[in-house]
Amino acid sequence: MPETLIFIAVLVGLVWLWADSTRAREVALQYCGRACQDASVQFLDQTVALASLSLGRDARGRLVLLRRYGFEFSTNGTDRHRGVAAMTGRTVEFVRLEHPGGPFIMTGGTVHAIN
């Protein structure tokens, strides 16, 4: 009986992790697409890939998942450059584009060029 309860708890935890990760990925996709649009570059493949996943604390001190997503963008349609989106829970902390003319960082919905 205890083994069955443990199995069910692990299964429920895995389903929750999958559903939460799917929602977080959708949020990251939206932010990365908007950052690319605001920086006047092309968001390649219209996708993000999970680069890292760890546990951390949010601003309120609650235990949350920290995620980093990688993506690629192009400045002219033939080149490829990397970008990263960092999330705390399902909140995007920043999106950074490694632009050849200097990096761009989007925080709070605004893209800033870093010189």
Average pLDDT over residues 16-42: 92
SS3 state at 5? helix
Distances (CA, A) of 67 to 22, 75, 86, 99, 115: 12, 26, 6, 22, 26
Angular region, 23: left φ>0, alpha ψ -120 to 50, beta rest: alpha
What local confidence, expressed as pLDDT, does residue 113 receive?
A: 64
Is residue 97 pLDDT above 80, yes or no? yes
Task: Report the range of poorest mean pLDDT among 59-63, 101-105, 106-110.
Answer: 106-110
pLDDT band at 93; cut points 50, 70, 90: very high
Check: CB of residue 29 under 8 Å from CB of residue 49: no
- For the residues of 31-83, what is the DSSP string, one character each? HHHHHHHHTT-EEGGG--EEEEEEEEE-TTS-EEEEEEEEEEEESSSS--EEE
Q: So where are the chain's domains?
A: 2-113
